[in-house]
Amino acid sequence: MSAPVRQGGAEAKPRTASAPDNARPRHILLIEDTPSLQMVYRSVLASAGHRVAVAGTAAEGLARFHEVTPSVVLLDLMLPDRDGLDLMQDMLRLRPETNVIVITANGSINKAVEAMRAGAHEFLVKPFDEQRFLGAVENASQARTPRQPRRAVPEPEAPVVLSGSFLGSSDAMERIQSKIRSAARSMATVFITGESGTGKELCALAVHANSPRASGPFIALNCGAIPQDLLESEVFGHVKGSFTGAIADKPGAAAAADGGTLFLDEICEMAPALQTKLLRFLQTSTVQPVGATRPRKVNVRIVCATNRDPLDAVRRGHFREDLYYRLYVVPVHMPPLRERGDDVIEIAEAALSRFAAEEGREFTGLDPEVAALFRRHPWPGNVRQVLNVIRNVVVLNDGGLVTPRMLPDDFSDQDLPVDVALPGALPTSSEPILNGLIGRTLAEIEQIVIEATIARHGGSVPKAARVLDVSPSTLYRKRESWKG
């Protein structure tokens, strides 16, 4: 087994400080097979005002679970008589409202992630310090029941609360809504992937709206749209005078999201130095603004997103592996619109109704020819492109049935042009574009497309960034890396 809880590099000793006035003793069940760790964990918990029951095996733990009805279970996944994950699932079947914190060693992080997906509230990786330990227990103790008990007669599942254009009845979207329904009730981090324009932020909003934190704030931060030298201040805040331009205290996104959800978009664009601080924040649930001398504890649920392959970013050294495992607990992949069947019609009709009301116009729907055209179109810009097309129609036309002639001049049911000459592509301009990309790595294809887009816009990186739906700083960093 790994080393026990540590405090300042030494084995933790019982604290004499009393529990906060508003903290009531809570039943905690500790299931740990190492006597020395049992003693340390129990001492730390007792000194914080918790009532602790201890078990050394899975069988004993299940018996104590029935006896004490704990609100929180601390469960070591490596038990001598049974797999800890199986034990956790049995306990959650008996009392789904129980919050389980799993404890594991460094070499078993994948097991901890599996436990989070199976319903664990949080996980701790040994060795951990006392502050992290008590913080996890306190968050679990204060969490409202994240899961509803199962009933003998199944009831219809509550519909997912949707917002904006997060619509669709396709099988793919039904699977996503089912996953959101399950994940929203827990504290597990949700990691959303998908192409630009597929609705990743709307997915994050749906997770928040269907969670016990729905009444709390939803704070969104685009990690790729903020200059790296200001990103730490945006996330963690700063105090007045901490740097040039800091004319007043600023709480930061993490503190602003206290009691709610913090959505970190384009997470893979975060600078390595800030990734380290984000990992520390996830481990301790505390933020320390730039220039501040003391950290502040917050209670925040993290949802993040990227249009890149996060595991590929880890392999390339652009994203910390330990941060990846901490965040990549409940993955949700938003499919491109071209794979969602008739969802495009549902989205277009909803957008038509909304935009017409905003502009004071009266539209009656989509012409069958337009609907067929929409179904055939590849929609490289995904949902965002649909909204732009419908907005254009509503603004430039008086109303009635949407016909093909109302569509924007640059809209076509054809795929991307086949005669685009890309820098570095092998074929001549008369050959299909894909022939010049087959056999190349994704990194090479990315460079070709980025450079071609910049060239098409007269060398303007900001204009190219708008077309590619990324921040200019992302393109500047990529081009700098290619020079090296």
Query: What pLDDT shows up at residue 110?
Result: 67
Phi and psi dihedrals of 194, rounded to 5? 150, 165
pLDDT tens digits, one per residue of 88-100: 888 888 888 888 8
305: pLDDT strictly greater than 90: yes
Average pLDDT of span 183-202: 87
263: pLDDT strictly greater than 90: yes
pLDDT tens digits, one per residue of 48-85: 888 889 998 888 988 889 888 888 999 988 888 888 88
pLDDT tens digits, one per residue of 329-340: 889 999 999 888
14: pLDDT strictly greater than 50: no
Which of the pair, 105 or 25, is modelled with greater confidence? 105
Average pLDDT of span 118-140: 77
463: pLDDT strictly greater than 90: no
Query: What pLDDT shows up at residue 156?
Result: 41
In Å, how far are 2, 36, 54, 77, 347 from 57, measured between CA atoms? 17, 15, 10, 11, 53
Using an 8 Å Cβ cutoff, are 452 and 420 in contact? yes
27 three-state secondary structure: strand
Q: How confident is the model at residue 256 (pLDDT cuts 50, 70, 90)?
A: confident
Q: Does domain 433-483 have CATH number 1.10.10?
A: yes
Q: How confident is the model at residue 412 (pLDDT cuts 50, 70, 90)?
A: low
354: pLDDT strictly greater than 80: yes
Using an 8 Å Cβ cutoff, are 46 and 52 in contact? yes
Query: What pLDDT shows up at residue 121?
Result: 79
Q: How confident is the model at residue 155 (pLDDT cuts 50, 70, 90)?
A: very low
23: pLDDT strictly greater than 50: no
Percent of the chain with pLDDT over 90: 10
Q: What is the CATH number assigned to the segment(s) 338-406? A: 1.10.8.60
pLDDT tens digits, one per residue of 195-251: 888 889 889 988 998 888 888 899 888 887 777 667 777 788 877 766 666 677 777
Query: What pLDDT shows up at residue 17?
Result: 39
Helices 171-184 and 200-209, axial angle in degrees (round to 10): 40
Average pLDDT of span 454-481: 78
Our measurement of the distance from residue 378's CA atom to the centroid of its chain's CA atoms, rounded to an integer in Å, reads: 27
440 three-state secondary structure: coil
Q: Residue 189 class from Cβ within 10 Å (0-12 exposed, 13-18 middle, 19+ buried)? A: buried
CATH superfamily of 6-142: Response regulator (3.40.50.2300)
Task: Report the DSSP pairing between strands 296-297 and 286-287.
Answer: antiparallel
Average pLDDT of span 307-326: 88
Distance CA 392, CA 250 (A): 39
Q: Kindly report the average pLDDT of the chain as a whole number.
A: 78
Of the candidates 71, 51, 73, the one whose C-alpha atom is nearest the C-alpha of residue 60 is 73
DSSP string spanning 279-329? Answer: HHHHHH-EE--BT-SS-EE---EEEEEESS-HHHHHHTTSS-HHHHHHH-S
Q: Where in the chain is the domain with CATH 1.10.10?
A: 433-483
Q: Where in the chain is the domain with CATH 3.40.50.2300?
A: 6-142
pTM of this structure: 0.59
Q: What is the CATH number assigned to the segment(s) 171-335? A: 3.40.50.300
Using an 8 Å Cβ cutoff, are 307 and 193 in contact? yes
Which of the pair, 314 or 476, is modelled with greater confidence? 314
Q: Where in the chain is the domain with CATH 1.10.8.60?
A: 338-406
Q: How confident is the model at residue 86 (pLDDT cuts 50, 70, 90)?
A: confident
In Å, how far are 305, 331, 356, 374 from 337, measured between CA atoms? 18, 19, 23, 11
Query: What pLDDT shows up at residue 437?
Result: 67
